[in-house]
Amino acid sequence: MHNHLKQESDTVELIKVATFNLFNFIEPPSAYYDFENIYTQEQWQKKLAWITSYLNEHQPDVIGFQEVFSPDALATLTQACGLDYFAVLDEPDVFDDFIYSKPVVAIASRYPIIDVHSVEADSQLAEMVGMPANFSFSRKPLRATVSIPKLGPCDCYVVHFKSKRPLFDAQTEYLSGKSQVKLKTGQLLAVEALAQWGASIVRGSEAALLRHAMVERRVQTQYPMMLMGDFNDGLEGGVLASLTSVDTRIKPDNVFGDVTEELQEYQLQDSYELYQKSQYSLSSQQRPATYYYLAAGSVLDYILLSCEFDAKHSRSLAEVGRYETYDRHLINPSFDRDSQSTDHAPVMITLSIRH
């Protein structure tokens, strides 16, 4: 486990926030995606035990989940771990009564969840960026307003953006409307590149439309914001740049005020970057990956925060005192311990909230 830690003062409240892709969390005899994908009772109990072990060891106070097919089972598990509050709004798709697809997101909290909302995209803006008017998120983002000690109401958003899986199949879907000619490998690669770019367009649009929804809410409430989840992309890649960008030609409302301060009130910042700039950071070692594909690691799981969690901002109420990537099961897996774990590394931050 990559654990960055330094002793905090006793004069602060410590709040732990985590994001956790559960990897096909589905209670048997239901199946995920295909009729053969059903856990045995032994596999399912092992998966439950692994998640329980993580929650009991790390004790997050607020945790966002992705890839949830069986929310009732997850609510039971999290409540047994002391997370008394749970919310899920969306439902997975099901066919033949037992084969599930399109998993949903959920949130569990040690503190009261006082409001929940399923975030929808603004249809006019979706059209203006080239999406269909009936555009909807791949998995609907969940906004839960959590009453956090010393902080008050905080809007916590849980997301699972569109995956990098190609938007369509080059060989079957693309060719279905054409004469069944055999394409050369180079032609297939070019069509596949378009299909992957299509997924990027959707993912980037989801990110920008979500940011808009978050800002609209922020204008109404001024509540602190957290965005946690599986982004299925790196923040540095460009596709998701709209989540944290501040490049603008727009003149600030207050011409005499601090332009940067005003813009940051509606900006999100990467909790890892905030941690690196904090007084608690011990090193500038390379950021641990949260996902591996063919031995290549990437960071796909993030927690983004509003300016209340930036120690250098005038509205600061807290700062990021720890940043932990739990990756033992990915780096050094043990079959006995980890065979039913997850293909992502849960990420957890500790917020030091000043009294």
Cis peptide preceding 29, ω within 30 of 0:
yes
> 4 lies in a domain?
no
Instruction: For residue 320, give the 3-state DSSP assignment.
Output: strand
Per-residue pLDDT of 300-354, as tens digits, reads 999 999 999 999 898 999 999 999 999 999 999 999 999 999 999 999 999 999 7
291/8 Cα distance (integer angstroms): 30
pLDDT(284) > 70: no
41/53 Cα distance (integer angstroms): 18
> 204 lies in a domain?
no
For residue 61, the enclosing domain spans 14-117+139-162+223-353
pLDDT band at 259 (very low <50, low <70, confident <90, very high): low
> 172 lies in a domain?
no
Q: Write the CATH number for 145.
A: 3.60.10.10
Of the two residues 173 and 79, the one the predictor is more confident about is 79
> 301 lies in a domain?
yes
pLDDT(172) > 60: yes
User: Which residues, other chains included, contact 53 with Cβ-Cβ below 8 Å and sequence gap of 6+?
Assistant: none
Assess contact for 58 and 18: CB atoms under 8 A.
yes
Cα 126 to chain centroid, rounded: 21
pLDDT(258) > 80: no
Mean pLDDT of 41-67: 97
Residue of 219, 201, 221, 331 whose CA lies nearest to 266: 219
> 218 lies in a domain?
no
Burial of 284 (0-12, 13-18, 19+ CB in 10 A): exposed
Mean pLDDT of 17-33: 95
> 245 lies in a domain?
yes
pLDDT band at 8 (very low <50, low <70, confident <90, very high): very low
Beta strands in the chain (DSSP E): 2-4, 12-25, 31-32, 62-68, 85-87, 93-95, 99-101, 104-109, 113-118, 142-148, 152-160, 225-230, 269-270, 291-293, 296-298, 301-305, 318-325, 347-354
355/353 Cα distance (integer angstroms): 7
Of the two residues 188 and 303, the one the predictor is more confident about is 303
Residue of 350, 342, 354 whose CA lies nearest to 7: 350
Per-residue pLDDT of 88-138, as tens digits, reads 999 999 989 899 899 999 999 999 999 999 999 999 999 999 999 889 998
301/234 Cα distance (integer angstroms): 8
pLDDT(64) > 70: yes
Q: How many domains does the chain have?
A: 1
Per-residue confidence (pLDDT) for residue 7, from 0 to 100: 45
Q: Is the dihedral of CA 354, 54, 63, 290 positive or negative?
A: positive
pLDDT(175) > 80: no
Per-residue confidence (pLDDT) for residue 182, from 0 to 100: 73
Per-residue confidence (pLDDT) for residue 6, from 0 to 100: 44
Q: Which amino acid, one-letter code, is at 76?
A: T
For a pLDDT cut of 90, what percent of the chain falls above it?
70
Cα 1 to chain centroid, rounded: 20
> 296 lies in a domain?
yes
Map 243-272 to HEC letters: HCCCCCCCCCCCCCCCHHHHHHCCCCEEHH
pLDDT band at 186 (very low <50, low <70, confident <90, very high): confident
Residue of 347, 344, 345, 340 whose CA lies nearest to 50: 340
> 86 lies in a domain?
yes
Q: Is the dihedral of CA 277, 279, 283, 287 positive or negative?
A: negative
Residue 20 CB neighbours (<10 A)? 28
pTM as predicted: 0.91
Give me the chain's average pLDDT, please.
89
Assess contact for 155 and 143: CB atoms under 8 A.
yes
Assess contact for 48 and 70: CB atoms under 8 A.
no
Of the two residues 81 and 238, the one the predictor is more confident about is 81
